[in-house]
């Protein structure tokens, strides 16, 4: 009888949705999203392309819950070559909650700091993929975007390394006041 109850417990808990996307962790900004700056338009178009329309970000198919995606708030506005974490930290910029859309179509986004994402992973004992921007560089009517799909790994994960995730660099050009995707200039996988 004990074995039967144990098996039922395993069955029911394995059928639950992952904890990391439950409402207590996954919160989108409550403000209405207005694309009233170049940065907001480019963030929207980049997320839309990578996770909603083209779904062309590296290892998109490995994402467990594609309808709820975390976005890291860190990005760089100028530099894209770093020798260390300290070097990154010197010039890092932060997206604000009103600069990331709550949703695009059926896909919801939740902006979090790296520290908050790590806490969610540690609390839930779950590793998960999330979106991030390495670079959002706007120079007049040309923009360069580096978008990533990478792992947040729980401190409880032992002896495991993920050989998946990645991203790409793409360019946008502003034509008649509209940012248009131009091309991918590079891509990478982990």
Within the chain, strands assigned E span: 68-72, 74-75, 93-94, 103-104, 107-112, 128-139, 142-152, 166-175, 178-189
At 180, the pLDDT band (50, 70, 90 cuts) reads very high
pLDDT at 6: 43
pLDDT at 10: 43
User: What's the whole-number mean pLDDT along residues 153-164?
Assistant: 84
- Is the pLDDT higher at 3 or at 144? 144
Tens digit of each residue's pLDDT (9 = 90 or more) over 17-38: 466 666 677 777 767 789 999 9
Tens digit of each residue's pLDDT (9 = 90 or more) over 93-118: 999 999 999 999 999 999 999 999 99
CA distances from 139 to 19, 28, 143 (A): 40, 29, 6
pLDDT at 124: 87
Tens digit of each residue's pLDDT (9 = 90 or more) over 28-82: 776 778 999 999 999 999 999 999 999 999 999 999 889 999 999 999 998 778 8
User: What's the whole-number mean pLDDT along residues 179-185?
Assistant: 98
pLDDT at 26: 79
């Amino acid at each position: 009888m004990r074995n039967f109850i144990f098996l039922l417990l395993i069955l029911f808990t394995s059928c639950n949705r992952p904890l990391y996307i439950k409402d207590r962790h996954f919160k989108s900004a409550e403000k209405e999203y207005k694309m009233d700056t170049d940065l907001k338009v480019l963030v929207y178009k980049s997320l839309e392309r990578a996770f909603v329309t083209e779904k062309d970000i590296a290892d998109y198919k490995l994402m467990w819950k594609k309808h709820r995606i975390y976005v890291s708030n860190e990005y760089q506005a100028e530099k894209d070559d770093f020798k260390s974490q300290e070097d990154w930290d010197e010039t890092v910029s932060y997206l604000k909650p009103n600069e990331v859309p709550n949703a695009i179509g059926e896909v919801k986004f939740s902006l979090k700091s790296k520290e908050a994402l790590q806490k969610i992973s540690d609390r839930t004992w779950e590793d998960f993929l999330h979106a991030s921007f390495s670079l959002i560089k706007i120079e007049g009517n040309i923009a360069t975007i580096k978008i990533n799909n990478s792992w947040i790994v729980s401190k409880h994960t032992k002896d495991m390394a993920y050989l998946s995730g990645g991203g790409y660099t793409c360019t946008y050009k502003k034509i008649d006041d509209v940012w248009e995707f131009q091309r991918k200039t590079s891509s990478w996988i982990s």
